[in-house]
Amino acid sequence: MLIDLFMDRRVPVPCRLMTWEYCTTFDGEPSASKVLEEFLREMPRRVELAGGSLLVKMWPMVSFNATEGRLWRYLVALPSSMNGGLLLDSGARKSERLLPEQISLAALANKFLMEQQNGNSGNCVFWALHSDLLYLLVYFEGRLCHWSEELGYVAMSSGAGDCVRSLVDDRLARFRKFLEQDSLFSRAEHFDVVELQVDSSGFSLEQFRDASRDPFFRGMDLKEAAGDSLFPLGPGRKWPHRGLLHRLPHRRRLQVVAASLALFVFALVFFVASILGMPLDGFGTPAEIPDAIAVELDLPPMEETVEEPQASIKELHAFSLGRVQVGPARNAGRARGGLAPSCVPPSIKLRGIAGEKLAIAEVNGRTETLSLGDSLAASNGAFVISGITRDHLILKCRGKTFEVSSP
């Protein structure tokens, strides 16, 4: 199904092409039903030869303002009745796109317009003879705006070359007068007349493929409502599921295929991993956030003091509640011994610890974030944070250690 969706097989089909004009008001838009109704009324014989209205296909070529209103010119495809069963066969391959075989003439015309150097602004009349038909293509400012096919011309290879050429020259002379009086083509100062050579064996398949990639013919499909879906689908017909895709350029279609396959593989990997319970680093399982790393600080040199025994349990409990009081007797004893006075820590209330690296505490009524090596100023000494455990904060002052536990 995926291959059938993206493949675009172009198949040449014999049919007749013509130009048909429809007029609306200057600000009007053509209605699909009215356009088809008007064409069936004006061209009943052609529709009958084509095998019915369902086989009539139209694609807008150009629209412009004229004195009578806004004119819309359509390229009309009329497949022969012998091809009717093929075009209406809903069982035909959906990857096949059926196109008129004579669009290879447009590839020759486009090649000429791209290679010309005379600066005629893309205004050319191209003509070709093949199978007793005279093909006339008019390009206005480099855009296809007219296509007609006229019967009654014997191929030059049949031996009547001079006579046929005289007929062609006479027809081209009358066609020039049509260009001079036309509402659109009369705006051009000059049209070059160029002959397109067609092989006696038929239209070139290579040129047909080149033309099928043209921006105009890329939207064509004789077995579906092509172009801008101008006409509603007939009874029993299906909506073309390839309608949007086969209008894309070949390179863009490859990009769509690659993106679709990548998305399918991506979803398949997730599905298999979810069934097997496999972790997907960077996708399925959230990465662990590492603990915050403490900032390394240069500690001030510590003063040499006499190591004192650690505080008693009562003192630690009182310190953790922010109610540590050091009596005057102890201070006096230290003073008589010639030592530094006892450290009086600030009021600290531990609020939380993160990863044994950071501590959040309320110091003297202010909330601070503490890490290893930070200093806390007190009334008679500086406290250094020497350790952070899971539920304790360890302070050190002149060799004396205090622990503050979380409430």
Q: 270 and 280 in contact (C-beta within 8 Å)?
A: yes
Please give the average per-residue pLDDT across 263-285, as a whole number. 72
Is the model more confident about 196 or about 301?
Answer: 196
pLDDT at residue 8, rounded to an integer: 61
pLDDT at residue 143, rounded to an integer: 94
Would you say residue 183 has pLDDT above 50? yes
* pLDDT tens readout for residues 277-309: 666 555 444 445 455 455 454 545 554 444 455
Would you say residue 14 has pLDDT above 80? yes
Would you say residue 106 has pLDDT above 50? yes
pLDDT at residue 256, rounded to an integer: 80
276 and 394 part of one domain: no
Pairing of the two strands 57-66 and 9-13: unpaired
pLDDT at residue 233, rounded to an integer: 31
**pLDDT category, 160, cuts 50, 70, 90?**
low
239 and 263 part of one domain: no
pLDDT at residue 386, rounded to an integer: 84
> Is 64 inside any structural domain?
yes
Would you say residue 148 has pLDDT above 90? yes
> Is 293 inside any structural domain?
no
**pLDDT category, 249, cuts 50, 70, 90?**
low
Mean residue pLDDT across the chain: 74
Q: How many helices (H) and strands (E) does the chain have?
A: 10, 16
pLDDT at residue 237, rounded to an integer: 34
> Is 298 inside any structural domain?
no
> Is 212 inside any structural domain?
yes
Name 240's Cβ contacts closer than 8 Å, sequence gap at least 6.
94, 221, 224, 225
Measured in whole angstroms, how far is the alpha carbon of residue 127 from the centre of its chain? 41
* pLDDT tens readout for residues 342-352: 677 777 887 78
258 and 283 part of one domain: yes
**pLDDT category, 210, cuts 50, 70, 90?**
very high
Query: Residue 335 carries which DSSP code?
Result: H
Which of 118-122, 236-240, 328-332 bottoms out in mean pLDDT, i.e. has the lowest?
236-240
Task: Point out the domain boundary residue: 191, 211, 244.
Answer: 244
124 and 183 part of one domain: yes
Is the model more confident about 79 or about 201?
Answer: 201
pLDDT at residue 2, rounded to an integer: 47
88 and 148 part of one domain: yes
30 and 52 part of one domain: yes
Q: 106 and 220 in contact (C-beta within 8 Å)?
A: no
* pLDDT tens readout for residues 53-74: 557 888 899 999 999 999 999 9
Residue whose tokens read 């050579």: 197
pLDDT at residue 245, rounded to an integer: 54
pLDDT at residue 118, rounded to an integer: 64
pLDDT at residue 326, rounded to an integer: 42
**pLDDT category, 141, cuts 50, 70, 90?**
very high
| pLDDT cut 70: percent of the chain above it | 64
**pLDDT category, 236, cuts 50, 70, 90?**
very low
229 and 278 part of one domain: no
Task: Point out the domain boundary residue: 211, 244, 277.
Answer: 244
* DSSP SS3 for 57: strand
Please give the average per-residue pLDDT across 106-119, as a whole number. 85
> Is 303 inside any structural domain?
no
> Is 397 inside any structural domain?
yes
pLDDT at residue 49, rounded to an integer: 64
Would you say residue 239 has pLDDT above 60? no
> Is 279 inside any structural domain?
yes
74 and 142 part of one domain: yes
18 and 147 part of one domain: yes
Q: 225 and 232 in contact (C-beta within 8 Å)?
A: yes
Three-state SS sequence of 361-380: EEECCEEEEEECCCEEEECC
347 and 239 part of one domain: no
Would you say residue 177 has pLDDT above 60? yes
| pLDDT cut 90: percent of the chain above it | 27
> Is 370 inside any structural domain?
yes
User: What Cα–Cα distance (Å) separates residue 187 from each residue in 55, 123, 183, 190?
Assistant: 34, 10, 8, 9
134 and 259 part of one domain: no
* pLDDT tens readout for residues 309-338: 555 555 555 545 544 444 444 444 444 444
Tell me which residue range forms the domain holding 233.
2-244
Counting the structural domains of the chain, the total is 3
Which of 103-107, 165-169, 235-239, 393-397 bottoms out in mean pLDDT, i.e. has the lowest?
235-239
262 and 384 part of one domain: no
pLDDT at residue 268, rounded to an integer: 85
pLDDT at residue 364, rounded to an integer: 81
Other C-beta atoms within 10 Å of 255: how many? 11
